[in-house]
Amino acid sequence: MSEKTIEIRHKSSGMMRDAFKRLMRNKAAVLGLVIILILILSAIFANVVAPFSYDEQNLRQRFLAPSPEHWFGTDEYGRDIFSRILYGSRTSLMVGAISVTISSGIGTLLGAISGYYGNRVDNIIMRFIDIMLAIPNILLAISIAATLGPGIVNVMIAVGISSVPGYARLVRASVMSLRDQEFIEAARSIGANDFRIIMKHILPNCMAPIIVQATMSIAIAILSAAALSFLGLGVQPPMPEWGSMLSNGRAYIRDYWWVVTFPGVAIMATVFAFNLFGDGLRDALDPRLKQ
């Protein structure tokens, strides 16, 4: 308890610096961060780094195995897979990041309000969440695409919205077990308003599950986006996107392993990195680990 009181009095910048220091000491998290940075850099500089253009077809050089010229081989249209993966990091990272931001933002807010106020508010929000849970993602995506036209934005919104209930329920459960604890009452007693209590006292204490969930859902977001692309609701060709590269390549899984393997590895590496990083972040942010 005494640790916590000290914790609260700290300036937030100091807290962040401490957390950052702890994070940097975690080698796994640093590895994750490095992979993420590489991905971000390759997304930004794809046009500089990539040896070929992402949409340059060479129909006489289809399904070339990996070679010094085509590091990851070529796909069913003779496009360079390495270049497409580099460009694809743009789409996939953006889809992952933005949809997770949408879902964790809305979900956390709803969950926190629901868990904190309980009773009637909880009831209304949870019924709302139940409604959302019941609506299939694809139907949601189609409806959104119908309003906004097909494209990547819909994918992000559809994927984001469809994973809101997960966050909401998770956060709600954590908040419910936190809200009656002494330090919340303490905060309330010194006149902190509900907003402040939720933002400053409750949410930081349920960061751990939120972060774990967020890192996990980046993967799910990337894969859901792929599924939507497959139904024609996502990224428009020839713009590469890992998930749809994987889906389109599935027909060749037994003949040309590289067509599916490299996008698959790209997704796995990304998810792996976010997981490592998220894990490290959780440990770094968790005040209870401080001693």
Partner 1 sequence: MREKLLEIKNLKVVYSTEEKVVEAVNHIDLTIHRGEALGLIGETGAGKTTTALSILNLIPDPPGKILEGEIDYNGTNLLSLNQKAMRSVRGNKISMIFQDPMTALNPVMTVGDQIAEVIRLHHKISRKEAYIKAQMMLETVGIPGNRLKDFPHQFSGGMKQRVVIAIALACNPELLIADEPTTALDVTIQEQVLDLMDKLQKEFNTSLLLITHDLGVVAEVCETVAIMYAGEIVEYGTLEQVYNDTKHPYTRGLFDSIPKFNEEVKRLKPIKGQMPNPANLPVGCNFADRCPDVMPKCREADPIVIDTGENHLVKCYKYMAGGYEA
Partner 2 sequence: MLRFLFRRILMMIPVLLGVSLVVFIMSYFTPGDPAVMILGDMATQEDIEMMHKELKLDEPFVVQYVNYVKNIVTKGDFGTSYTTKQPVLDELLARFPNTFKLAGLSVILSVLIGITVGIISATRQYSILDNVATALSFIGVSMPNFWQGMMLIIVFSVWLGWLPPSGFSTPLHWILPAVTIGTSSAAQIMRMTRSSMLEVIRQDYIRTARAKGQSERVVIWRHALKNALIPIITVVGLSFGRLLGGAVLTESIFSIAGIGKLMVDAINLRNYPLVQGGVLFIAIVMSVVNLIVDVLYAYVDPRIRTQFTTFNIRKKYRMEGDRDE
Partner 3 sequence: MNKVYQLLVSILIFSLVLGGCGSSSTTATTESGQTEAATTEAVAEKTFKDTLTIAHWEEPATLDPQYSNMISWFIVEKNIFNGLLDYVNDEYVPVLATSWENLDDTHIRFHLRDDVTFQNGEPMTAADVYFTLKRATESPKSASSYKTLDIENTKIVDDYTIDVALTMPDEAFFNTLSSGRGYIVSQKAVEEMGEAEFARNPVGTGPYMVSEWVSGTEIKLTAFEGYYAGVAQTPNVIYKFIPEASNRAIELETGDVDVALNIAANDVERVREMENADIVMVPSYRYTTLTMSMQDEILQDKRVREALVYAIDKSLLVDVVYGDTADVLNGVMPTNAIGYKEMTPTEYDPEKAKALLAEAGYADGLTLDFQVDPGSEYLDIAEIVQSMWQDVGVTANIITMDRPSYLAQGYNYQISVRAGNANHPSNILIIYDSAFGDRIQPNDAYIDNALNEFRQIYDDAKRKEVLDALQDYIWDIKYTIPLAHTKTIYGVSNNVENFVPDPLGLVDWSQVTVTE
Residues 231-270 that bind partner 2 (CB under 8 A): 231, 243, 246-247, 250, 253-254, 260, 264, 267-268, 270
Q: Could you say which of 139, 193, 196, 199 contacts partner 2 (CB under 8 A)?
A: 139
Supply the minimum distance, in Å, between the C-beta of residue 285 and partner 1: 17
Supply the minimum distance, in Å, between the C-beta of residue 65 and partner 1: 44
Structural contact between residues 10 and 251, judged by C-beta atoms closer than 8 angstroms: no
Binding segment toward partner 2, per CB under 8 A, in 60-68, 93-101, 192-200, 272-280: 272-280
CA 221 – CA 224 distance, rounded (Å): 5
Q: What is the largest CA-CA distance in the chain?
A: 75
Binding partner of residue 25 among partner 2, partner 3, partner 1, none, CB cut-off 5 to 8 Å per kind: partner 1
- Closer to partner 3 by CB, 38 or 253: give it: 253
Interaction between residue 27 and partner 2 (CB under 8 A): no
- Closer to partner 2 by CB, 41 or 253: give it: 253
Binding partner of residue 136 among partner 2, partner 3, partner 1, none, CB cut-off 5 to 8 Å per kind: partner 2
Interaction between residue 130 and partner 2 (CB under 8 A): yes
What are the residues binding partner 3 (CB under 8 A)?
A: 27-28, 31, 55-57, 59-60, 62, 76-77, 142, 145-146, 150, 230-234, 236-238, 248, 250-255, 272, 276
Task: Provide the 3-class DSSP secondary structure of residue 74.
Answer: strand
Percent of the chain as helix, strand, coil, to the nearest 5: 75, 0, 25
Separation in Å, CA 264 to CA 52, 65, 141: 20, 16, 24
Structural contact between residues 59 and 75, judged by C-beta atoms closer than 8 angstroms: no
- Amino acid identity at 181: Q
Interaction between residue 193 and partner 2 (CB under 8 A): no
Separation in Å, CA 13 to CA 18, 19, 20, 30, 203: 9, 10, 10, 21, 17
Binding partner of residue 160 among partner 3, partner 2, partner 1, none, CB cut-off 5 to 8 Å per kind: none
Please, is 86 exposed, middle or buried when counting C-beta atoms within 10 Å of its C-beta (0-12, 13-18, 19+)?
Answer: buried
DSSP 67: -
Binding partner of residue 271 among partner 3, partner 1, partner 2, none, CB cut-off 5 to 8 Å per kind: partner 2
Structural contact between residues 224 and 162, judged by C-beta atoms closer than 8 angstroms: yes
**136 preceded by cis ω (within 30°)?**
no
Taking the alpha carbons at both ends of the chain, their separation in whole angstroms is 12
Structural contact between residues 278 and 211, judged by C-beta atoms closer than 8 angstroms: yes
What are the residues binding partner 1 (CB under 8 A)?
A: 1-2, 25, 180-182, 291
Q: Could you say which of 24, 38, 44, 135 contacts partner 2 (CB under 8 A)?
A: 135
Q: Which region holds residue 97: left if phi is over 0, alpha if psi is between -120 and 50, else beta?
A: alpha
Which residue ranges make up the site for partner 2 (CB under 8 A)? 118, 123, 126-128, 130-131, 133-136, 138-140, 142-143, 146, 165-166, 169-170, 173-174, 176-177, 180, 208-209, 212, 216, 219, 223, 226-227, 231, 243, 246-247, 250, 253-254, 260, 264, 267-268, 270-272, 275-276, 279, 282, 286, 288-289
